[in-house]
Chain A
């Protein structure tokens, strides 16, 4: 069953008089429960594509269907709702709120969804255990290692039980062992909860944890293959 469909997506940035075509007619369809990796050289448009799928930005041209709803021209208020309910982000730089503790960071998306405090607490504790951080709940991000911060970020991405996890180079700031552990955590998640996961990575080895790999080049899908 198709969860996400990109139809001839263009994204053009205008910098002064110069135009940068970050994406040039990308079409892609992702099934529910699929684990997809996106690869490609720097500047090929991977992050751009992720931010369009994640409703952080709108394409210059084209259609993006999420659950058969076109999100390519939605107003910001509805995009915020989709981001909050259906999408979980994991960033290369962890992007935790530094003034909040681990639990508070994980609870934040639930606050924006008006989820009750009891429910927030229950889910937060469960998520912390799920990512293997049961003993670090009141630590601030600065008091956690990179790997631990990324685990908190993953727990936060799962907080509102979204359909898709978007992870843009989640291992980019981690050493290879920690990076592998993080990817294995995502794989476990995928196996246990059948979440759709889209992973951007430069690392061929890590990309092979995915079921399908899409290779971008100059804002186009250059090639695409399935793991056997």
Chain B
């Protein structure tokens, strides 16, 4: 393993990455988890994160960017502290997913991939998140909210705004 003199990550994450690079038959397998965990910590995958991860896994930065650009959850610009992801795929659409998306747009005053000026919320229209039987469904960061209505959505947003929302990492 390449040793990292001074990691940009917190000691916990750095230790986790040290371990991740050793558990697989090929260490490159750690790439996608590392990118996602880096994003969880920084809020997006920064240039510095790309540099450190490529060093950790003995990859070219180009290799890392190539993979980074493929996966829809990975981003290279910051999102809001709470990224509100509204599913509008078929099962959700049939139960009001688009109305919910419109409601969030109006409520937050931002569009798809927009961020509120205070940086608290961002909004994304997403594809099926595997909660079709509890539609319409929304994920705020990694936390699922099921069977929503505009009123329930307001309560969810209010909880996050007040710092009461769950934040699974």
Tell whether A and B belong to one assembly.
Answer: no
B contact set with A: CB distance below 8 Å: none
